[in-house]
Chain A
Amino acid sequence: MGRRFIVTPKEDLTVLVEAERIKPEIFAGKTLDEIRELIVYEGNRRRKLGELFNIQEEKVEGEEISIVLRGDFSKVSRIGEEMGTGEIIIDGNCGSFLGYKMKGGKIIVKGDAGSWLGAEMRKGTIEVYGNAGDHVGAPLRGLKKNRAMRGGMIIIHGDAGTEVGAYMVKGTIIVEGNCSVLPGLKMSGGTVLIMGDCMGKAGARMSGGKVIICGKAGEILPSFYIDSIVPSVKAKGRKIEGPFYLFLGDVLENASCSGRLFVSVNNNPELKVYEELIESGGT
């Protein structure tokens, strides 16, 4: 039999809570009482999971472990850290570092997610129905790119913040709403798809992979060169209808300009000036 746990806060949380132990593999081999004994940190206090949250268990079909977090978890961070299997459903908002270093399984957030969503992710899927914070999929500051997102998929149906997919090596991030500045910063592989607008600086210092902006893109960095206009672009099996300007860059990171930046033609009329360069340059 599969197990489904329903976790709800006992009362409103007043300070940040760290709960890296909320993940299917840790719940899997434990009784409900044992799960209630798991340690979480409420600010600087060591607390038992059961002191802060009500936890119930339901038997369900199948083999899977799923954890449903119901209520406001916006102060709770590190849920699903390094999780490799099973499912976490957050029926509400959640805090930062959701699915940090995730290795597999699935996380669904029905509300908003905090910053560093899926940071340093390796595999698995995260789907957010609301908005996400900054640094989606990014590694901690000052690390080499070998710790960046290397696989998996993050879908955000709402908006996202700055630096979506920074340093990404592989994997896919889809933002259906808008994002702030610097999507795809320093990425060397994988795909960042922004269905809405971006506030600018897209693809900064990228050396590989794809950044696709379907809405307004703001000013294109001068370190990108116009290549052509393409009718559509493929992202993780989806065909996105264009047309798109295709820019290559970032020349400051990689002189061969092997990163590809796709920007909607129709939503960015101020980029029309580049069309002359396509015709004359014959690239």
Chain B
Amino acid sequence: MAGLNLVLVTGRSLSQGEGLDIGKTTKDYFEGVAIIELDGEDLEALGVVEGGKVKVETEYGSIVVRAIKSRRKHKGIAFMPMGPWASLVIDPNTYGSGMPTLKGIKARILPTDEKIPGIKEILERIYNIRVKEIPKETLSEGESVSTASRVIDNVACSFCGCLCDDLEVEVRNNRVVKVRKACSLGSSKLLHSRENRILNPYVRENGVLVRVDLRSAVKKAAEILANAKYPLLYGWSNTSVEAIRVGVELAEYIGGVFDNTSVICHGPTIQAVQEAGFVTSTLGKVKNYADLIIYWGCNPLNAHPRHLARYSAFAKGIYAKSRRDRKIVVIDVRETDTAKVADLFIKVKPNSDYELATALRMAIRGYDIESGKVAGVNVEKIRELAEMMVSAKFGVIFYGLGLTMTQGKGRNIEELIRLAQDLNEWTKFVAIPMRGHYNVVGANQVSTWTTGYAFSVDFRRGYPRYNPGVTSATDLLNNGDVDAALIVASDPVAHMPAKAVENLVKIPVVTLDPKWSLTAVASTVVIPVAMTGVEVGGTAYRMDKVPIRLKKLVEPPPGILSDEDVLRMILEEVKKLR
């Protein structure tokens, strides 16, 4: 059978993002995520029609998904949205960084007649989890008390790291009925906040999740954590600072590992800061000053939809008044939607960002570059970009997972930071990471001020230690090094590499989540919680480390507590046991 060798890139997509709130067991999620985007020419070469099935094979596994023709040309590169399907073929190896290799993986694509496995099948067949009994729960509509609605303004959106705080939310009968100013991801989260909810605590007995009361669930959770020799406490990027603070205390008390999801997003950025420092600013500085904006390895139009209009390319600023006052550059391995709005698009060879950063640093210093092409880019083009950089009055590089997840990992970011530092000899330049979850920065902040380290914090010897690559959630799970886990506000079963998931589902897992995530389905103890930023307030940190208060918009479902409250209950119970 004819096959093609391509480079596989995984990442966030709009439908993947929206799907998080509709639920991962839905048809929409399946259709949006069990796919691979291929260039038209590649599709043709494979002899597969749009929507046809292909098998993706890598050194690490294989999976059948539906082939989609990509809207933009990126011959030789295949894109899969993050999710349980992509997890089966990515490179789980973190190369000592804690970050699995989720982009730039060699893959073979073949036409196939095999069936595309559904979520249930993946869980049952591959991970050996019984899912027949996913409890069906519906949040009652409640008595229609009144038809009066109220509008809450200046609401901070708890979806992505942009944390846009200008939303107008209309609430009627304790329901969000309308959301203004938000992007589709933000409104989806708010409008679908009542769907797919977990409404009761569950404990697994004889392989089946059984409904219990909160007290018994907390007790069981505490037993699991107190008895564990080496528990992992993971997640924390979709909850409030208040909850994270209790999480650290719990991890310290039980001698576990406290790790947040930056381990699979910007953990390498943190490692780079530890080597080189940083040079950064808040987004308002970019909005008001930046006349050169470079998006490197990120695609905000899909992952941070309002970023361009609110903070960067199209924002109305004091000195840079509009798009016309700014030059936009996109550096990526494929032509993304964001690349379409750029004045200059630089297509970098996969896994060669380090080389490109090196060449840029050389070009701005005026060093000779012997090779005519670096990282697949003509040296003239590199010089052109270098010239743009030094002649900018205020330049910014926004960088994303295209650098942190590929070969070189943190070292890519280190070079990028050094590049920005170098540029300050000539002009003003800053570099800002595009952070994903709305409070992943908060998780880093709390972790840093309480322990000295931003993620992968190991308390097993009674004081904080840090070593991503060894004590990172990914590596601990890849290698089966922990014996219990507490998952808060995250879905590792959907997003971690298959190897890690296989080990995770073998150990007792306690999950706190407002919704039925794949991890919740596979857990030993499931405790429902209120949705932070919707049903409970708290602090979150924007991607540029600006703290913003989240608002409580509606009441949580009856009997459902916040992450913070449930964690405190678990901590108190643990203290009785150990």
Contacts and interface: CB of A to CB of B under 8 A. Distances in A.
B354 A222 contact: no
What bracket does the count of chain A residues touching chain B fall in?
Answer: 35 or more
A97 B362 CA distance: 36
A15 interface: yes
A135 B411 contact: no
Interface stretch (A38-46, A53-61, A82-90, A150-158): A38-46
A172 interface: no
B21 interface: no
B408 A181 contact: yes
Contacts of A223: 358, 361-362, 367
A244 interface: no
A44 B459 CA distance: 8
B277 to A, nearest CB: 10
A252 interface: yes
B407 A43 contact: no
A226 interface: yes
Interface stretch (B52-60, B207-215, B283-291, B368-376): B368-376
A57 B60 CA distance: 43
A77 interface: yes
A182 B96 CA distance: 12
B246 interface: no
A181 B408 CA distance: 7
A227 to B, nearest CB: 11
A120 interface: no
B95 A16 contact: no
A97 B458 CA distance: 15
B407 A200 contact: yes
Interface in B419-471: 459-462, 467, 469-470
Interface in B261-289: 271, 274-275
Contacts of B482: 15-16, 43
A108 B304 CA distance: 51
A162 interface: yes
A222 B96 contact: no
Given A14-B229, A185-B411, A134 B95 contact: yes
The SS class assigned to the B binding surface is: loop
Contacts of B168: none
A34 interface: no
Nearest to A223: B358
B20 interface: no
Given A141-B271, A181-B408, A251-B362, A42 B469 contact: no
Contacts of B368: 225
Given A14-B229, A44-B460, A222 B469 contact: no
What bracket does the count of chain B residues touching chain A fall in?
Answer: 35 or more
Interface string A87-122: 000000000110000000000000000111000000
Interface in B92-108: 95-97
A282 interface: no
B470 A116 contact: yes
Contacts of B354: 201, 204, 221
Nearest to B371: A222
B193 interface: no
Given A44-B460, A200-B351, A251-B367, A115 B469 contact: yes
Nearest to B470: A96
Contact of A15 (B229, B375, B467): B229
B470 A115 contact: yes
B470 A43 contact: no
Given A44-B230, A181-B407, A222-B370, A16 B481 contact: yes
A251 to B, nearest CB: 6
A274 B370 contact: yes
Given A135-B96, A182-B411, A14 B483 contact: yes
Residue from A44, A180, A204, A252 whose CB has the most chain B CB atoms within 10 Å? A44
B229 A204 contact: no
A221 B357 CA distance: 10
Residue from A116, A162, A221 whose CB has the most chain B CB atoms within 10 Å? A162
Interface string B464-489: 00010110000010011111000000
A161 interface: yes
Contacts of A161: 95-96
A140 B271 CA distance: 11
A199 B407 contact: yes
A226 B370 contact: yes
B229 A134 contact: no
B255 interface: yes
A43 B227 CA distance: 11
A77 B467 CA distance: 13
Contacts of A14: 229, 480, 483
A19 to B, nearest CB: 13
Contacts of B371: 220, 222, 273
Contact of A77 (B359, B361, B470): B470
A72 interface: no
B230 A43 contact: yes
Given A161-B95, A200-B407, A16 B230 contact: yes
Contacts of B96: 115-116, 133-135, 161-163
Contact of B275 (A42, A142, A226): A142
A268 B408 CA distance: 21
A18 B351 CA distance: 35
A135 B355 contact: no
B411 A221 contact: no
27 contacts: A14-B229, A14-B483, A41-B460, A43-B229, A43-B460, A44-B254, A44-B255, A44-B460, A96-B470, A115-B470, A134-B95, A134-B97, A135-B96, A135-B469, A140-B467, A141-B271, A141-B274, A180-B95, A181-B407, A181-B408, A200-B407, A204-B354, A204-B411, A221-B358, A222-B358, A222-B359, A226-B370
- Which 3 A-B residue pairs are closest in the complex by CB-CB distance? A44-B255, A134-B96, A43-B230
Given A41-B461, A221-B355, 7 more contacts: A15-B482, A44-B462, A115-B470, A180-B95, A201-B408, A252-B365, A252-B367
